[in-house]
Amino acid sequence: MARAENLHDVGFAMAGYLRRNLNPALDDVVAGPPLENPAAANESIRITLLWVTPQPTHRNDPWIDDDAGLSIPPPVSLSGFYLVTTYGVTDSGEPQQAYNRLGDAIRIFDVGPIDLPLPDDPLTPEIDPTPGEGLLTITLVPTAADLMEKVFSPLQLRHRPWALFEVGPIQLQSLLTPGPGPDIVHPGGVRLGGPEPTSAPVINAVAPLQFRAGGRISIDTLDAANAESLRIGDEVFRFVDVPVAVDEIARADEFGRVFVTYPAAAEAGDVDIVIRSARSGSNNFPVTILDASDTGVDAPIATVSIAAGLNLTGQGLTATQRVVLWPDRGIQDPTEVINVVADAVTDTTLTLNAATLTAEGARRGRHRLSLRIADNRFTPFVIVEFVP
Residue 136: closest CA among 12, 20, 8, 14: 14
Mean pLDDT, 10 residues at a time, the chain of 388 residues: 81 88 88 86 90 83 79 87 91 87 92 81 61 86 79 75 89 84 66 73 93 92 90 92 91 91 90 90 92 92 91 94 93 92 95 93 92 93 92
The whole-number pLDDT of residue 60 equals 76
How crowded is residue 279: how many other Cβ atoms within 10 Å of its Cβ? 12
Assess whether the region 202-290 and the region 296-387 belong to the same CATH fold. yes
d(CA 250, CA 240): 6
Q: Are 7 and 80 in contact (CB under 8 A)?
A: yes
CATH fold of the domain at 202-290: Immunoglobulin-like (2.60.40)
d(CA 382, CA 215): 11
Domain range annotation of the chain: 2-178, 202-290, 296-387
The whole-number pLDDT of residue 106 equals 93
Q: Are 238 and 251 in contact (CB under 8 A)?
A: no
Among the CATH numbers 3.20.20, 1.10.3210, 2.60.40, 2.30.30, which is that of 296-387? 2.60.40
The whole-number pLDDT of residue 185 equals 63
In this structure, what is the dihedral angle of CA atoms 148, 31, 106, 86, given to the nearest 10 degrees? 60
The whole-number pLDDT of residue 86 equals 93
Q: What counts of helices (H) and strands (E) characterise the chain? A: 4, 29
User: What region, left, alpha or beta, does residue 90 occupy, with left being phi > 0 and alpha being psi -120 to 50 degrees?
Assistant: beta
The model's pTM? 0.49
The whole-number pLDDT of residue 67 equals 75
| Residue 131 CA neighbour count, 13 Å, CB half | 8
The whole-number pLDDT of residue 190 equals 67
